């Protein structure tokens, strides 16, 4: 079975849950920006939750199926259509051989996950089928899809049409979005007033928001505690001697616009980090559109661990609901 790409949308890539274990070599984890949505889509069509699917941002692709398949679309509200007929989101539906899957306009959110029974069967690279476009690694020839591509699909089941994810399990960003942050090793580099302002201000997602990172603007500039820059650091107060960047860390070049490093971000560099977005909230970032109002919420390690535990419990409820 194959899927023919008639139109690639804006940016559509093959993604799974990523390739952990290579960050120390400069190769990011990668994978779906909204992992919960990708897991849910796969479970809806009977796949392993780590199977490869498609991730599309802002504009969906147009795909022709050569054989019958079970499909699910989760994540953003971008209604799917089969030969022009609207389908229900977060619900498994059938696509017959020769039919075309397309998408309506984006209504909310930013990214959809498209799962097909059997999974997208591109070659595995470093333990994952995820596309890392900057490194031309994984996915379909290491790049986003283009019209004329034909995606191989594994063998799957057509059972489960109509299976749906309960609405209570579908977590979406609020308005404003709230992202919980654990202050980091370099928190002391900014003044106490700047620390308070960072959490008090309302920020907005900038236009520079992609798989590598999300920039935010609109808050007050951070003031730094004066010091003599150490040997090896740049002249700007936001510069440090090169350090590792934790996944989800927030760097603030020049103290002006925070950047949250996401799935395809670099693993280190010379900018200080105010803290790290907790793992339980990373999926939410992938659903933020430019100009979305956002607040950062300070949490403790205990609160971060409790949030992770709750996220794991929600995954368990999802698995139980779709078993």
The Cα–Cα gap between 94 and 84 comes to 14
Is the pLDDT confidence value at 7 over 90?
A: yes
What is the pLDDT, as a whole number, of residue 139?
97
φ and ψ of 20, to 5 deg:
-65, 155
Q: What is the pLDDT of residues 235-277, one digit of tens each?
A: 899 999 999 999 999 999 999 999 999 999 999 999 999 999 9
Residue 1 has pLDDT above 90, yes or no: no
- For residue 81, the Cα-to-chain-centroid distance in whole angstroms is 23
232 — pLDDT class (breaks 50, 70, 90): confident
Quote the mean pLDDT of the chain.
96
pLDDT of residue 154: 97
Question: Looking at the domain 177-313, which fold is it?
Answer: Cyclophilin (2.40.100)
Residue 20 has pLDDT above 90, yes or no: yes
- Dihedral of CA atoms 309, 312, 317, 322 in degrees, nearest 10, equals 180
Tokens at 31, concatenated = 């994978």
Helix (H, G, I), strand (E, B) or coil at 101: strand
Whether the pLDDT of residue 140 is over 90: the answer is yes
Domain range list for the chain: 2-166, 177-313
pLDDT at 152: 97
pLDDT score recorded for residue 233: 87
Nearest to 175 by CA among 260, 288, 37: 288
The stretch 271-295 carries a mean pLDDT of: 97
- pLDDT value at 230 more than 90: no
Q: How confident is the model at residue 170 (pLDDT cuts 50, 70, 90)?
A: very high
Decide if pLDDT at 231 tops 90.
Answer: no
| Per-residue model confidence (pLDDT) at position 308 | 97
CA-based radius of gyration for the chain: 20
Q: Which two tokens stand for residue 311?
A: 């996220």
Q: Over the stretch 69-120, which tens digit does the pLDDT of each residue have?
A: 999 999 999 999 999 999 999 999 999 999 999 999 999 999 999 999 999 9
Q: Which 3-state string (H, E, C) describes 199-232?
A: HHCCEEEEEEECCCEEEEECCCCCCECCCCCCCC
């Amino acid at each position: 079975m194959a899927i023919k790409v008639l139109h690639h949308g804006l940016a559509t890539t093959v993604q799974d849950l990523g390739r952990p274990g290579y960050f120390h070599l400069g190769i990011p984890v990668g994978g779906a920006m909204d992992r919960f949505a990708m897991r849910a889509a796969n479970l809806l069509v009977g796949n392993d939750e780590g199977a490869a699917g498609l991730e599309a941002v802002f504009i969906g692709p147009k795909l022709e199926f050569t054989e019958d398949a079970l499909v699910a679309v989760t994540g953003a509200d971008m209604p799917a259509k089969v030969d022009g007929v609207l389908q229900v989101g977060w619900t498994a539906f059938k696509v017959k051989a020769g039919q075309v899957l397309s998408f309506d306009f984006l209504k909310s959110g930013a990214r959809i996950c498209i799962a097909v029974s059997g999974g997208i069967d591109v070659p595995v690279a470093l333990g994952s089928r995820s596309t890392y476009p900057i490194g031309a690694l994984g996915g379909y020839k290491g790049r986003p899809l283009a019209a004329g591509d034909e995606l191989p699909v594994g063998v799957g089941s057509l059972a489960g049409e109509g299976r749906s994810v309960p609405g209570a399990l579908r977590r979406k960003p609020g308005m404003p979005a709230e992202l919980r942050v654990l202050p980091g090793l370099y928190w002391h580099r900014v003044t106490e007033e700047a620390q308070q302002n960072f959490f008090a201000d309302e920020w907005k997602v900038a236009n520079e928001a992609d798989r590598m990172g999300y920039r935010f603007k609109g808050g007050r500039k951070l003031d730094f505690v004066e010091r003599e820059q150490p040997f090896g650091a740049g002249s700007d107060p936001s510069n440090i001697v090169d350090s590792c960047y934790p996944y989800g860390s927030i760097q603030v070049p020049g103290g002006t616009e925070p950047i949250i490093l996401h799935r395809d971000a670099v693993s280190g560099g010379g900018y200080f980090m105010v803290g790290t977005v907790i793992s339980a909230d990373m999926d939410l970032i992938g659903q933020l559109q430019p100009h979305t109002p956002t607040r950062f919420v300070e949490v403790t390690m205990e609160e971060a661990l409790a949030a992770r535990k709750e996220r794991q419990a929600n995954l368990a409820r999802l698995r139980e609901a779709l078993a």
